[in-house]
Amino acid sequence: MKHTADLVIEWSPRETVAYDGRTQSTTSDLSLFQGRTAVLALGRRAVFVKHIRLPNSSREDMSQVLRMRLPELFPVGGSELAFDFQAYEDVTEQGRLCLVAAARTEDLKAVQSLMESQRINVVQVLPVAVASPAVASQQGLARAAIVQPVAEGFAVDIVDEGKLMLSRIVSERDELDTDICVAFSLAGIPCSPVIVAGGLLLADAEKSSKVDPRQNLLSEPSALNLELPEIVAKRKAQQKQGKVRQATFLCVAAIALAALLYNDYDESTAKSRADESKVESRLKRATTLQKAVQVDLTRYADGESILARAFSPAQKLSDVVTLAAAKVPKGIWLTGVSVERGKDLQIRGISKTSQLVTTYVDALAAESRFRNVRLVFANDSTIDEEKVTQFSISAFPVGNLPLMDTGKKGGK
């Protein structure tokens, strides 16, 4: 996303810091930048970042699918989130790999209100962590962990082949070494070099970056832009109205063209058969155009019907994920949680002992909102010379109805 901003405002629940691209300096005094244009970078505690694969289709279709999957991706209701995604070139049979970013609408409204009070023009809103891939590239590394101090502790961003794979906060410095290895494991890539930034000193770091990562948000802009749902809806409504007006105009034009051609035909009876054939060809094109416009109008109506049903589910999948996470005993880390409408909840994780896995299964089985809780597998393995148990659990959330009734004719 191209812009003319030369200022980055990093906001988190703990602090707000401005990085001035002109002077390459930072300050918390926003009153110094009244009238300036800025990129708003949300801190890691204020934004959700996740990778998923979406159907390899148009961006509009991918966005609609993602909107319906929001409740299963994040522990917040989809109606309470502003989201955007960036599609990568990584395409498999499962779909195109995408980086999804989402923030609470209440947080976004609060920080935008703050920017308006300081008369700062915000042209883009994105996660501050998306600046990390450029740090690795500047150090000549395709795969690395970028570690830097932040208000909440220490930020750990995992980068692989120019893609932000994982972003998390570590509260205590003495937990950094362990959490960096865990972060690599959760991202699904082997331990790789560590790059420190922001003046951090770390004995195990292979490289150190003296460039403020936020500078990359100005020099290498990201395509992500988090907007409030009502702004997105208003823009789409305007686009739809424009398409409807265009479709109506084309219908009228087609009818007028047909009438004109028939009139010309009546007035040109003396013309040759070649002229008659030409008129018929034009009529066919006009009829085809009219049918295509009608198909578009029908598709818009069908899409609205599907979205209306998708946004009024019988049970929020985000509540199911939140409940499963709340039952996790100390000593277990979840590496994956997935659930779809009408299907089992799938939980994957790493445990220090197999007994903790049994405790977790019993806790889920005792919960009245789950049934058919079972341990799919529990395998002992070693991560960084430490014995752990990798496991998978499945359970069916009570009342988890499918999005569509596949028993009906034509259901998908």
Predicted confidence (pLDDT) at residue 257 exceeds the cutoff of 60: yes
Please give the full DSSP string across 296-314, using - where no structure is assigned. Answer: HHHHHHHHHHHHHHHTS-S
CA distance linking residue 320 with residue 367, whole number of Å: 11
CATH class for domain 7-126?
Answer: alpha beta
Predicted confidence (pLDDT) at residue 314 exceeds the cutoff of 60: no
pLDDT at 406: 58
Average pLDDT, the chain: 86
Q: What is the pTM of this model?
A: 0.58
CA distance linking residue 132 with residue 134, whole number of Å: 5
- Is 347 within 8 Å of 363 (Cβ atoms)? no
pLDDT at 120: 95
pLDDT at 265: 61
Q: Label residue 268 by pLDDT band (50, 70, 90).
A: low
Name the amino acid, one letter, at 163. K
Please name which of 138, 159, 40 lies closest in space to residue 88, comparing C-alpha atoms: 159
CATH class for domain 317-397?
Answer: alpha beta
C-alpha to C-alpha distances, 108 to 67, 126, 212, nearest whole angstrom: 18, 11, 24
Lowest mean pLDDT among 70-74, 334-338, 404-408: 404-408
Please name which of 125, 105, 135 lies closest in space to residue 38, comparing C-alpha atoms: 125
- Is 361 within 8 Å of 393 (Cβ atoms)? yes
Lowest mean pLDDT among 64-78, 193-207, 227-241, 263-277: 263-277
Q: Give domain 131-219's CATH superfamily.
A: ATPase, nucleotide binding domain (3.30.420.40)
What are the tokens at 19?
Answer: 């990085």
pLDDT tens-digit readout, 293-309: 788 777 766 666 555 55
Task: Give residue 198's region: left, alpha or beta (phi > 0; psi -120 to 50).
Answer: left
Q: Kindly provide the residue ranges of all beta strands, DSSP E only, lying in 4-135, ordered along the sequence.
A: 7-11, 16-20, 25-27, 37-42, 48-54, 81-92, 95-104, 121-127
CA distance linking residue 273 with residue 284, whole number of Å: 17
**Mean pLDDT value across residues 143-148:** 94
**Mean pLDDT value across residues 68-81:** 87
